[in-house]
Amino acid sequence: MRKTRNFLVIIAIIAIIGFGFIACGGDDDNTPFTMEMVSIPAGTFTMGTVSGLDSEERPVRQVTLNAFKMGKYEVTHAQYLEVMGTNPSYFNSAPEAGETQSKRPVECVTWFDAIEFCNKLSVKEGLTPVYTITGRTPATGYPIEAATVTATWENNGYRLPTEAQWEYACRAGSTTDWTFGNDQNQLTNYAWYYANSNDKTHQVGKKTANAWGLYDMHGNVFEWCWDWFGWSYYGESGNTNNPVGPSSGTHRVARGGDYRNSTVHTRSASRSYLYPVVCGSIGFRVVRP
Tell me which DSSP letter residue 263 carries: G
| In contact, 158 and 288? CB cutoff 8 Å | yes
DSSP-based three-state secondary structure for 147: strand
Q: Across-strand partners of 178? A: 181
pLDDT tens profile 220-272: 999 999 999 987 765 555 678 999 999 899 999 999 999 999 999 999 999 99
Kindly report the average pLDDT of the chain as a whole number.
88
Q: Across-strand partners of 252? A: 228, 274
With 0-12 / 13-18 / 19 or more C-beta atoms within 10 angstroms meaning exposed / middle / buried, residue 261 is buried
5-288: CATH number: 3.90.1580.10
Question: Which whole-number Å values give the CA distances from 173 to 168, 178, 260, in the listed order?
Answer: 8, 11, 27
Average pLDDT over residues 7-33: 39
State yes or no: pLDDT of 101 exceeds 80: yes
Q: Is the dihedral of CA 88, 13, 8, 199 positive or negative?
A: positive
Cα–Cα distance, 276 to 171 (Å, whole number): 25
At residue 92, the pLDDT reads 93
State yes or no: pLDDT of 21 exceeds 70: no
Question: Which whole-number Å values give the CA distances from 42 to 61, 69, 83, 288, in the listed order?
Answer: 17, 10, 30, 13
State yes or no: pLDDT of 6 exceeds 50: no
DSSP-based three-state secondary structure for 71: strand
Q: Which of 261, 241, 112, 142 is nearest to 191 (CA)?
A: 261
pTM of the model: 0.88
pLDDT tens profile 66-78: 999 999 999 999 9
| In contact, 179 and 268? CB cutoff 8 Å | yes
pLDDT tens profile 166-214: 999 999 999 999 999 999 999 999 999 999 999 999 999 999 999 999 9
Cα–Cα distance, 84 to 125 (Å, whole number): 14
